[in-house]
Amino acid sequence: MQYFVVMIDYGRRGREAVVDPEITRRGIISRVSSGEYQNILFIHEIAENSVDDVTEAILAEAALPEIPPEDVDLQASRHDHARDLRKHEKA
């Protein structure tokens, strides 16, 4: 059996260990990326009789990619804005 333990720190309100045998590594990464899990103290992977600290690996996988400003399509943004303005004029 394999499962994850996510320890969340709520400051003065205490700590919470989230343990759900049904959630996968992908699910943990998704929750970290979405911001559902914040202020994480550690993430442990429990498998058979061993415990591995996978905090850094999961936080690295959950990090949003950095998009350099030169790769952003500003022209598309202007077209989207113009379309939104036209949409509101008709309403």
**End-to-end CA separation in angstroms for the chain:** 57
Reported as a single tens digit per residue, the pLDDT across 51-88 is 999 999 999 999 866 656 555 565 666 666 677 777 77
Neighbours of 70 (CB within 10 A): 6
- List, in sequence order, every residue forming a beta bridge with 50; answer none if it has no partner: 47
- Phi/psi of residue 34, nearest 5 degrees: -75, -15
Tell me how far apart the alpha carbons of residues 61 and 30 are, in angstroms, rounded to a whole number.
10
Return the structure tokens found at 63.
């990090």
Question: Domain locations in the chain?
Answer: 2-90
Cα Rg for the chain, rounded, in angstroms? 20
pTM over 0.85: no
